[in-house]
């Protein structure tokens, strides 16, 4: 049994199939791995809006399908600019819809040897942009002039700045990644040698910074260090000599006790 247009859940044609398509520049993405219901929820947010507002809505949307719809809208805007010569300041989303695509069928094992069907839905997203009529375009320009955004050159300059900022950010990330990979490649580099060289340079610099008035302080400090070392050595010698005397006394006491035992 043949399916009719309403059963296909599309708003491409409102009449018979021989009716012409909607006017305007379009872009279409086919076989998107997302259900048409989820895509329509996002498309409802941008339908009838100016392309700049639609781009902002899609850019800040948290739905994963928004990235696909954003690329489709950008493609439709590019088609209008290149094929029909319409600037993006005069475009709006005249129509956007999602048709159901083929359903991929898979199976999931269940209890008692049964199996249930898994339906992986797909859809076809279509976006059509058209030129605003004269009255709406004049009203839009008046609103932009009242808000301070009526200068087309300023808008174009702002758009170029945004593109340049995005490209610079991408280049910076690529450079950071390359530096990180280079650090991992140079894992066998001797960092201890560099640290020792830096410490040696610091000692030489500190020695070179000593003035003539500070030489006496250095000599006094050396003399104090020598005296402290001598005192430490004297204490150590005294400890050693006292230890030897204690050992001799212990040995003498042991000999006397053995002699007394022999006499008894």
Q: What is the 3-state secondary structure (H, E, C) of the chain?
A: CCCCCHHHCCCCCCCCCCCCCCCCEEEEEEEECCCHHHHHHHHHHHCCCEHHHHHHHHHCCCCCHHHHHHHHHHHHHHHHHHHCCCCHHHEEEEEEEEEECCCEEEEEECHHHCEEEEEECCEEEEEEEEECCHHHHHHHHHHHHHHCCCCHHHHHHHHHHHHHHHHHHHHHHHHHHHHHHHHHHCCCCCHHHHHHHHHHHHHHHHHHCCCHHHHHHHHHHHHHHHHHHHHHHHHHHHHHHHHHHHHHHHHHHHHHHHHHHHHC
pLDDT of residue 6: 44
Q: In this predicted structure, what is the pLDDT of residue 1?
A: 40
Residues 172 and 57 placed together within one structural domain of the fold: no
Residue 249 lies in a domain: no
The answer on 144 and 43 residing in a single domain is yes
> Is 161 found in the same domain as 137?
no
Are 86 and 174 members of one domain?
no
Of 163, 183, 203, the domain-final residue:
183
* In contact, 125 and 104? CB cutoff 8 Å: no
Mean pLDDT by 10 residues, the chain (264 residues): 44 56 89 95 94 92 94 94 89 94 96 96 95 83 71 70 85 86 61 52 49 49 59 56 58 60 55
Residues 179 and 126 in one domain: no
Give the position of tokens 């990979």. Answer: 181
Q: Do residue 139 and residue 29 come from a single domain?
A: yes
Which among 74, 76, 10, 67 is positioned nearest to 42, based on CA atoms?
A: 67
Q: Is residue 202 part of a domain?
A: no
Asked whether residue 176 falls in the same domain as residue 119, the answer is: no
Rounded to an integer, what distance in angstroms lies between the CA atom of residue 26 and that of residue 80?
8
Residue 191 domain flag: no
Rounded distance between C-alpha atoms, residue 153 and residue 83, angstroms: 22
Q: CA-to-CA distance for 104 and 91, rounded, in angstroms?
A: 36
Tell me: do 121 and 61 sit in the same domain.
yes
Res 251: pLDDT:
61
Predicted confidence at residue 203, as pLDDT, reads 46
- Whether residues 100 and 73 share a domain: the answer is yes
Residue 222 belongs to a domain: no
pTM metric for this prediction: 0.52
Task: Evaluate whether residue 121 is within a structural domain.
Answer: yes
Beta bridge mates, 96: 127
96/69 Cα distance (integer angstroms):
10
Quick check: is 89 in a domain? yes
94 and 162 assigned to the same domain: no
As for how many domains the chain has, the answer is 2
* pLDDT of amino acid 38: 95
Residue 233 covered by a domain: no
> Which of 150, 175, 209 finishes a domain?
150
Q: Which domain holds residue 30?
A: 21-107+114-150
In a domain, 204, yes or no: no
Say if residue 86 is in the same domain as residue 172. no
Q: Does 165 lie in the same domain as 51?
A: no
């Amino acid at each position: 049994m043949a399916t009719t247009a309403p059963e296909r859940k599309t708003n491409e044609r409102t009449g018979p199939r021989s009716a012409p398509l909607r006017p305007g520049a379009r872009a279409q993405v086919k076989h998107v791995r997302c259900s048409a219901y989820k895509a329509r929820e996002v498309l409802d947010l941008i339908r009838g809006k100016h392309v700049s507002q639609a781009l902002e809505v899609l850019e800040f949307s948290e739905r994963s399908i928004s990235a696909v719809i954003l690329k489709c809208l950008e493609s439709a805007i590019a088609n209008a600019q290149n094929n029909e010569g319409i600037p993006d300041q005069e475009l709006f989303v005249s129509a956007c819809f999602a048709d159901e695509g083929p359903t991929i069928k898979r199976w999931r094992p269940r209890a008692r040897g049964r199996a249930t069907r898994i339906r992986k839905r797909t859809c076809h997203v279509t976006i059509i942009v058209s030129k605003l009529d004269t009255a709406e375009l004049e009203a839009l320009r008046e609103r932009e002039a009242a808000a301070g955004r009526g200068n087309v050159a300023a808008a174009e300059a702002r758009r170029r700045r945004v593109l340049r900022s995005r490209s610079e950010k991408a280049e910076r990330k690529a450079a950071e990644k390359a530096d990180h990979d280079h650090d991992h490649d140079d894992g066998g580099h001797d960092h201890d040698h560099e640290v020792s060289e830096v410490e040696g340079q610091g000692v030489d610099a500190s020695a070179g910074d000593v003035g003539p008035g500070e030489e006496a302080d250095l000599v006094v400090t050396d003399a104090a260090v020598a005296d402290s070392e001598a005192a430490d050595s004297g204490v150590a010698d005294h400890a050693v000599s006292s230890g030897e005397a204690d050992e001799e006394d212990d040995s003498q006491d042991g000999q006397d006790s053995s002699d007394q035992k022999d006499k008894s």
